[in-house]
């Protein structure tokens, strides 16, 4: 187990991991350790989300977190250093060659143009920093969005108000700061040792607005009213949640998007499910989207012979993987995650454009783009189960062939896309060789 026990040893570099063959970047969902906090090698340091799955990543070394180089919600290339673990709790041992940003230290707050927590309403006395859009040491223009702030009324993007470089960030994402308190400092020249602190480490400094420190100008308002039907979940458009929270929400039939519509801050963890359960019944919200149900009959089963041929000639012995590949191709989304429920078990697959040999298994906590329920060996001939977390294709027996049933919410697939999916998949099941053409 790696340790950093001697101050003479270089700090352990934590990089953005590659969770898949085709992954070139990942989105940091949440940090589980703060700057200066002790950490064990197997402690979860952060969560990362790709287009395939969300994973908890261990620290990999024992010591103290001395540097965090990317905030929650940031997308980082694979292999880039995002944190350092050193022998002591002194923050600021920057990563050599870890990016263009200078090392972040715990120096005193520099002098410069003060950016304060703005007043977005008459009765507002504080605001919560949702996310920083600029990192310590990064260049910024007066009109650039510096951070997002949330009040009980709305979420706003706030401009920097000054040209220069970010010399200090004095509050972390998720922290609440009083109106008028300095939360960032911008200087004219690039700082050699920019500062990043939480509010707990900085004496409160309320400044009176002057010509030198105007109240930052809100750039764009984003209403948190419940009537909003599709709020931005994150910079990538996804709802950020831990794998365990996603799994439990799915098992318990809970919709995490309701938390987003209610304005509950992300990322979501298991404890947030209690908040979700306490929300008013869905009937009190906007009318749900129209659900879709389409069926197609397959007069003859061509898949069984095709699966036997694929096993003998190409060594493709997993029928569920073949079904996943054909379903993803019918969806028209190469790289889609397909969950196949077959013989009482559910397996997840990452699909690829081209040959079915490119289909591989995905982690069990992957978020599917499509579900395929194979009931060909059951006695169920028809079903109507309603929309789920992803569109569902179900195969049921019918005479010498099968019936394909698609169920989904109206906002998951448009009418034309739903018709195309059922038609394409039914055609591939009847004549699987068309998949190879």
The tens digit of pLDDT for each residue in 321-357 reads 999 999 999 998 878 999 999 888 999 999 887 788 8
Q: Which residue has the higher pLDDT, 247 or 195?
A: 195
Per-residue tokens: 158: 């706030």
Residues 430 and 328 in one domain: yes
- Domain end, chosen from 169, 196, 223, is at 223
Give the H or E element holding residue 257: helix 257-261
Asked if the model's pLDDT at residue 57 lies above 90, the reply is no
One domain, residues 251 and 283: yes
Query: What's the CATH number where 29 sits?
Result: 2.40.50.100
- Cα angle value 133/29/119 (rounded, 5°): 40
Report percent pLDDT > 90 for the chain. Answer: 25
Polymer length of the chain = 437
Same domain, 217 and 230: no
> Does 359 reside within a domain?
yes
d(CA 30, CA 83): 13
pLDDT digits (tens, 9 = 90+) for 14-25: 888 876 656 678
216 and 229 both lie in a single domain:
no
Cβ-count burial of 218 within 10 angstroms (0-12 exposed, 13-18 middle, 19+ buried)? middle
Confidence class for position 208, pLDDT limits 50, 70, 90: very low
Task: Tell me how many helices (H) and strands (E) the chain has.
Answer: 6, 25
30 plus 134 within the same structural domain:
no
Matching residue, tokens 């709020």: 231
In a domain, 320, yes or no: yes
Q: Is the per-residue pLDDT at 168 higher than 50?
A: yes
DSSP reduced 3-state for 345: strand
Contact 269, 256 (CB under 8 A): no
Residue 225 has pLDDT above 60, yes or no: no
- Confidence at residue 89, expressed as pLDDT on a 0 to 100 scale: 67
Same-domain check for residues 181 and 231: no
100, part of any domain: no
Structural domains of the chain, count: 4
How many Å apart are CA 386 and CA 406, to the nearest integer? 10
Q: Residue 108 domain-assigned?
A: no
Q: Is residue 79, in this structure, part of any structural domain at all?
A: yes
Residue 124 lies inside a defined structural domain of this protein = yes
Instruction: With respect to residue 412, please indicate whether it lies within any of the assigned structural domains.
Output: yes
| Structural domain includes residue 278 | yes
Average pLDDT in the chain: 79
Tell whether omega for the bond before 392 is within 30 degrees of 0, i.e. cis: no
CATH number for position 350: 3.30.559.10
pLDDT recorded at residue 92: 47
Alpha helices in 252-405 (DSSP H): 257-261, 272-278, 303-314, 319-331
Least confident range of 3-12, 172-181, 399-408, 426-435:
3-12
Query: Residue 388 belongs to what domain range?
Result: 291-436
| 139 and 72, same domain (yes or no) | no
Q: Residues 237, 333: one domain?
A: no
pTM score above 0.75:
no
Q: Are residues 322 and 392 in the same domain?
A: yes
Between CA 359 and CA 372 the distance in angstroms is 15
166 and 254 share one domain: no
188 and 232 fall within a common domain = no
Per the CB < 8 A criterion, the answer to whether 170 and 112 are in contact is no
Distance, in Å, from the CA atom of 232 to the CA atom of 380, rounded to the nearest integer, reads 40
Q: CA-to-CA distance for 77 and 16, rounded, in angstroms?
A: 7
Burial of 304 from C-beta contacts in 10 A (0-12 / 13-18 / 19+): exposed
**pLDDT given for residue 233 in this prediction:** 42
Which of 288, 314, 338 is the last residue before a domain boundary?
288
* Domain termination residue (choose one: 196, 223, 250): 223
Which of 211, 223, 220 lies closest to 162, judged by CA?
211
**Same domain, yes or no: 430 and 295:** yes
pLDDT at position 122 is: 54
Question: How much is the average pLDDT of 36-49?
Answer: 88
State the pLDDT confidence band at 162, using cuts at 50, 70 and 90.
Answer: very high
């Amino acid at each position: 187990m790696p340790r950093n026990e001697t101050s003479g040893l270089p700090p352990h570099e934590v990089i953005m991991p590659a969770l898949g063959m085709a992954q070139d970047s990942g989105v940091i969902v949440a940090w589980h350790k703060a700057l200066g906090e002790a950490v064990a090698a197997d402690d979860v340091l952060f969560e990362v989300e790709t287009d395939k799955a969300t994973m908890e990543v261990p620290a990999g070394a024992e010591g103290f977190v001395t540097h965090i180089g990317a905030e929650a919600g940031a997308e980082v290339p694979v292999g880039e250093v995002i944190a350092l673990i050193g022998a002591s709790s002194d923050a600021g041992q920057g990563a050599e060659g870890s990016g263009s940003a200078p090392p972040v230290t715990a120096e005193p707050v520099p002098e410069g143009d003060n950016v304060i927590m703005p007043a977005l309403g008459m009765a507002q006395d504080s605001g919560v920093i949702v996310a920083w859009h600029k990192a310590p040491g990064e260049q910024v223009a007066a009109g650039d969005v510096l951070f997002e702030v949330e009040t009980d009324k709305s979420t706003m993007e706030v401009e920097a108000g000054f040209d220069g470089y970010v010399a200090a960030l004095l509050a972390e994402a998720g922290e609440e700061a009083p109106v008028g308190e300095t939360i960032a400092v911008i200087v004219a020249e690039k700082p050699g040792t920019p500062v990043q602190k939480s509010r707990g480490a900085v004496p409160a400094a309320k400044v009176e607005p002057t010509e030198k420190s105007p109240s930052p100008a809100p750039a764009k308002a984003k209403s948190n009213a419940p009537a909003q039907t599709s709020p931005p979940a994150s910079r990538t458009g996804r709802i950020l949640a831990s794998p365990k929270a996603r799994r439990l929400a799915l098992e318990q039939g809970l919709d995490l998007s309701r938390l987003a519509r209610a304005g509950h801050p992300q990322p979501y963890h298991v404890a947030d499910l209690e908040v979700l359960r306490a929300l008013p019944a869905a009937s009190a919200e906007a009318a749900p989207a129209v659900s879709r149900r389409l069926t197609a009959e397959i007069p003859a089963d061509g898949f069984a012979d095709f699966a036997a041929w694929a096993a003998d000639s190409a060594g493709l012995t997993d029928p569920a993987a073949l079904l996943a590949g054909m379903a993803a191709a019918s969806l028209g989304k190469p790289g889609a995650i397909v969950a196949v429920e077959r013989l009482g078990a559910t397996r997840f697959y990452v699909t690829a454009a081209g040959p079915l040999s490119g289909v591989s298994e995905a982690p069990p906590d992957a978020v599917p783009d499509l579900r395929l329920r194979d009931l060909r060996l059951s006695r169920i001939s028809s079903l109507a189960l309603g929309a789920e977390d992803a569109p569902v294709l179900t195969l049921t027996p019918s005479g010498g062939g099968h019936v394909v049933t698609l169920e989904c919410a109206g906002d998951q697939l448009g009418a034309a896309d739903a018709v195309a999916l059922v038609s394409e998949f039914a055609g591939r099941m009847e004549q699987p060789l068309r998949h190879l053409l």
